[in-house]
Structure 1
Amino acid sequence: MLKVRFPIATRSVAFFAVPALAFLSLTMPLSAQVNDAAANADRLQYLDIFEMEVAADPRISPDGSRVVYVRRGFDIMTDGRRTALWMIDSEGTQHRAITDGTSSVSSPRWSPEGNRLLYVSSEDGSAQVFVRWMDSGQTAELTNVTESPGNITWSPDGKWVAMTMFVPEAAPSFAKMPSKPDGAQWTTPPIVINKLRFRADGRGYLEDGYTHIFVMPAEGGTPRQLTSGSFNHGSSLSWSPDSRSIVFSANRDDPDFDVRNSEVFEISVASGELTQLTDRFGPDGNAALSPDGSMIAYTGFDDEYQGYQIAHLYVMNRDGSGSHMVSDLDRNFGGLNWADDGQGLYFQYDDEGMSKVAYVSLDGRVEDLAEDLGGVGLGRPYGGGSYTVAPGGRFAFTHTSPSHPADVAVGQRGREAQRITMLNKDLLGHKDLAQVEELWWESSHDGRA
């Protein structure tokens, strides 16, 4: 049955990389802009945007007892974003900050033993990887790189860290120009473009170069580049159980012309030897190795040049053989995480205006575990969001609704999920918010609701 679900009669607030006041002036109705703040204290006001906070990227500890997450808000003095790492017990107690909020932080990642935490911070002016020892609270800067690290991932033995970073390359030119005299002011040289994808929304012209995979010791040091070539390798990274290889996806065939034709690869950490595991025309990605290393789960489809196609879930043997679709669920699979026993996977998907956390067994049975998975958006369908799952099956996710921005919630199979933070209760608890109503109607195409 086709169901369309839209929230109405809600004041919509979202967090984007734009100045807070500029955004608020666009989202609040004109009548609200001229109301007297004191006379409407029970309504949302301009400056309330600086009091709102959202939870993002919740990371549950390996033993399932604690959750670290990124707490986001806006700084009223700079009209800019502020972030900090916070930690809370899975029962909703011991809620405390673990960074001071003076620098941008992101990507918290627990070590396999749960005694260390990696994260990316700009406390020294540029994005670097830091580690925190959870027993002592001591921190150390592990990298000194010029490009921002992404997709940081612990090896299962806790000895290595994999990441992706952009590697610049020399810009193309028509000819080698002579050096200009000291103090000379020459015309800006022309931009030479030799790629089909040369600019992007919100970024403008793209810098010449490609994203590659790196590894470094968990104690810090110089990251060593594993991948090479004129291809981007910016996907998620999945380590083998023996910490000797990494599985990822990339488009290494003809990315300029076949932009969605990515494949799954495995690369040796020691030698850099690359093995292609899938071979079909379509976007294979989100690769994840099973706990015993015998199988790889991934998403994809055979590209038929349609405007929209479902990314189904597939499982194959470690060597790429025996690939088969696990479930015929008519929804896109994302956020794959193997269950500890290797008999199924956790995933997230969008359904009828709502994002969900679910579990699918290897024989294709789907079980919904939590609803209202959401990100930094408020009052709109499919707000994004993320979740993580501990080896024991307890998971943490960002929970939202049209009445509150994203909080942290915790769940487990067979138990009802519980929201364990209420970051905006002090603000929204005293506000008269509009109520939300679902509207359903029949399709003019086939009469289905």
Structure 2
Amino acid sequence: MKKNIVEMQKKISKNNYFKIFKSVLVLVLIIFIILIFKIINQSINGTPEWLILIEPYKENLRSSLIENWFKGGVNSNFIRGPMGIASLLQFDLMFVNGKNSVFILPIFIDLIISWVALMCFLYMAIIIIYQILTIFKIDQKINAYYLTFLEYKKNKKNEKNNLKNQKITQAKENLLTADLVEKIAALELKISENMEKSKREKENIEAQINADDKEVEKNVKEKEEAKILAQKVLELELKIKKEQSEKNKIKLEINNKELEANKLKMKIQETEELELLVNKLQDKVKKEQSQKALIKKEMMKKKKTEEKAKILAQKVAMLEQEIALEKEQAESKIAQIQEQANISNQEAYNFVKMMEEKYKKEMATEISKNKNGEEKDLSKLSVIERSKIDGSMNISEPRYELQKYSNKLRDIAIQNQMPKSLQNINLRNLTKKELIKYMGNVTKKINS
């Protein structure tokens, strides 16, 4: 039994250690995923343009920016993020300066990643601590169960020894009773022989009295002897009665001992039933542990589905933005088809002059330059991202209106066989500011 308990303890501890190893692996996986998201955030948003955009609002931030994070590409600062630990508490991310409004996307993404990492670490730490505690609790329970089993075994041994002693005493008593029975039988034989002898003597005496009345004096002595014999017979009968009463007492004692033996048998049956109950309890504990493991698996599946739903929601939001852009482009195309025929060359030139005068400030800003004054390549960015950086958000003119006139000027460039950079340009991929610049370049070529 001790070996079985030790084996059971080893199996339970192995299972629990395997669970702890699993949870540690999950924690390592979470750290790896968080690092990947940090790298993606720096590779996309860790550009000098974002540093230039955020610099006017430095005073409103909780901590100073890590400038090395905004050098472009991925470097050793990707773990720290744009603000370090302070990004956990930087909830104010929308800033307005006159007409310009900026939402600081790099810090927002780093804030989300940091909070998710913190919650995951806490959750996994709680799980690991709980599993370690369960190991100690199970060991304590098994030791307690083993101690109770030892006590039960000792009691059982004592009961067995008591039964043996009782059986030995009973056997001795049985031997004594057998001796008594033999003695009583011998006494009964003697009494019967004496009775026969006394009867014969009486008959002889009576015969002598009847035969010879003359010998009365001699027979008186013999009568006295007969009386003495009769008294002896009575004494023997009393002794026999006493021995019979002792026999009855011995029988009663034997019956009592048989009753006690039956009681002991009942106790042995109860102990066997207790052993069966203990085995059933062990089976129940195993079933409960398996049910708990299944519940944990279902919880993990639910969490995974929730995370997938969040990712899908983000993708849907991105698709909605792209659909909105495509709608604008479609509207511009329709407007182009409807009104292109009605636009004259002079109207196009006048529109370009009006746009350049109206948006002088927006056209003068050159955000796409580095600190050294060199132009930065923005071709990798999307139209929405470029429009946020180059000031197109401040141009209130509808996009389809700008694209209508730029289409007209592109037709003029093709007719006049201007450079291919002005003829083969894709106007859909240009921001509002880039469309005005393009129209200005075409008008300059025409006037030169």
Smaller-chain TM-score bracket: under 0.3
Q: Which structure has the highest helix share of the two?
A: 2
Radius of gyration: which is bigger? 2
**TM-score (normalizing by structure 1):** 0.18
Q: Please state which structure has a larger fraction of its residues in strand.
A: 1
